Structure 1
């Protein structure tokens, strides 16, 4: 058995190798060079300040900073992830137990209410607060309908129940409750499978893959997506085409996380072709050509190609994305690319624009929180702007 690593550099190297990342990749993901990582590992540089430690921990999937530093315990999520005030209420509505009493809602009415909830998510400046007002009751209503309706109506109600759990997963994401994210993804997949609906299973696979990737299980993410691809015929119509394209987008994101550039871009090309054939964006999945092009920035950044990411940013008409949350997420990824190039002025500007699109996205995405926290220590306008952002999203600096 290997002795437990003692120095910060030794611990960093052990976690980097466990994560399967080269020094160049790790350095690129946190906006530093390969030589900088090497110098840390060999003890030629002092241990970084807290904001950079948090970025390293997030990239390496380290849950407690003590595992990196060997010092006092500090759960990474306590700094990088903010809880929403209604989280306990949403959690209670998701817990297992008897189906609440009530009369089932006709499927057409239930579908309309679920559509309205998704519209709230995409169009609200504070999407978590907006959906928190309707999600607990909607979860109960969908569960009652899926249990008490019969035949085709029951299967359609199960499809809507899966959509409600997807929304719950998005609400809970980036909060310090990982078990609830897994629960929402699992409940959604179970409802889709009970409905025996290939389209619903495909969407559940897209959301399940997000959970796997966030837990550094990229191979599991790929498997769940590939299983769902086999259920779809992209030639059968727009709905299957949108879901087929979105699954390939998910495959591209997983390959990007794993550093598999060729496979990532092959999958992205298939998603982009599907989006081009589809025309406009899907009504609630928001899959479309501009969305796929925006995700190309994510891929280039994950693959540590910030120069290519910045060039793609200039060509992406993100403002036409029909979702505030997606526009804000794209701007956060754009900021991430600029920080990889050490361009703090551009990064803080883009985070400010992301905040104007969606306060909740910037408040809850770990990278945005860490970047703001790190830039709070910068001098001049960058530090001033970062401190204003910190105040807006509730970060103590």
Structure 2
């Protein structure tokens, strides 16, 4: 290897600490940042990287995997037998078919586009199925190929500028639905293609709601790519908030809701940066917007509503590593009913993270069991849930270990 080359953390014989150091540097993080997130002193953390401390226990290893966004536990430990994908779920059986529809462009084949009202009705039904289904990827995965083909055909065959803008609005919505299907599956390049195409279609539509939704999803794609992309996520969110702000006094509920969802996303990213005041300030702004919505209103894409703000508060507290606060917020959030099954399952996972931070592992597993009951596919594709389960499987407490092993088999973390 050339003297100036960066070592490969996946090449033997590297020790655990060396792997951690290389992966940390590739994330653009300092030792102090990682130590703070682990709850260790910088001095103690340096001992891990320098090999002066024996390999840490499973709890610290899983937290490191979470912080460094390691996709496979074997990449961090150097042990091939520990091959477990932590942050990417299994490829869904319908992924290949959806990918072909996204990647294909029918330029020479004449495809008769459906009436606008017909595509609108199908999209409405698809969103309804997504929120009502325990296995939402299956529910929308079988619908997406035809929706994608018809959305693209509608744009190609638009007869006027107004028709083309209306078609682009629907195509942007199709891509938004696609991103929910593709997220956390093993094809990040496909996710980026969909996020960017959705943003382009939304801009072409000139529809404020479509632009807000596409911005919300594009910002999430940036944020979930790691800490080096937080600035890009914030830039997208802020631009969308500023674009929508003049429209809010007379905005529809959908536009007001997506503006509120964007405000929360700014708080979410701030919480990941550990910027406590900024995170809660954006949550307050989002909560004010939620208060302007009808009590029974739910945004059809983001689930933004009055009811979801309690769940959002749990997420902020968890990302800020405030265990006690996250548990208090979880108790308050349980007073509201989240209609969407996937969103309800996601809340239970965030709740479990809070209980884990508060040293209540048994309650954390109970919350994950509730998540599984609400929407199995949500927990199956969630890296945080998988990490909590794996840690509990290694517990010295036999009842906890058995309970976690049972859930692990259902989720697919361990072989049944």
Same fold (TM over 0.5): yes
Change (3 A) 1:88 1:123: same
Aligned residues: 394
Q: Which runs of 5+ in 2 are unaligned?
A: none
| CA RMSD across the alignment | 2.7
Deviation at 1:81, TM superposition (A): 2.4
Change (3 A) 1:377 1:260: same
* Equivalent position to 2:152, from 143, 154, 163: 143
Partner-residue secondary structure (3-state), 2:214: helix
The equivalent residue for 1:46 is 54
Corresponding position: 1:220 with 2:228: no
Deviation at 1:287, TM superposition (A): 0.9
* Equivalent position to 2:36, from 25, 30, 41: 25
The equivalent residue for 1:287 is 304
Corresponding position: 1:371 with 2:388: yes
Deviation at 1:7, TM superposition (A): 4.2
Task: Tell me the TM-score normalized by structure 1.
Answer: 0.90
Change (3 A) 1:63 1:322: closer
The equivalent residue for 1:9 is 17
The equivalent residue for 1:271 is 286
Deviation at 1:55, TM superposition (A): 4.1
Deviation at 1:319, TM superposition (A): 5.3
Corresponding position: 1:259 with 2:274: yes
The equivalent residue for 1:208 is 218
* Aligned pairs (5 A) from 1:35-114: 37=45, 40-41=48-49, 43-48=51-56, 53-63=61-71, 68-69=76-77, 77=85, 80-99=88-107, 101-114=110-123
Does the 8 A contact of 2:38 with 2:60 survive in 1? no
Deviation at 1:352, TM superposition (A): 0.2
Task: Tell me the TM-score normalized by structure 2.
Answer: 0.86
* Equivalent position to 2:401, from 358, 383, 394: 383
The equivalent residue for 2:204 is 194
Query: Please, which moves more after superposition, 206-215 or 54-63?
Result: 54-63
Corresponding position: 1:393 with 2:407: no
Deviations 1:368-390 (A, max 9, x none): 12221221222322111111111
Query: Please, which moves more after superposition, 205-214 or 316-325?
Result: 316-325
In structure 1, how many angstroms separate the alpha carbons of the residues matched to 2:117 and 2:335?
33
Does the 8 A contact of 1:275 with 1:287 survive in 2? yes
Deviations 1:68-87 (A, max 9, x none): 44666987647852211111
Deviation at 1:10, TM superposition (A): 4.7
Does the 8 A contact of 1:65 with 1:73 survive in 2? no
Q: Which runs of 5+ in 1 are unaligned?
A: none
The equivalent residue for 1:246 is 261
Deviation at 1:25, TM superposition (A): 3.4
Does the 8 A contact of 1:27 with 1:36 survive in 2? no
In structure 2, how many angstroms separate the alpha carbons of the residues matched to 1:180 and 1:301?
29
Does the 8 A contact of 2:379 with 2:411 survive in 1? yes
Does the 8 A contact of 1:248 with 1:271 survive in 2? yes
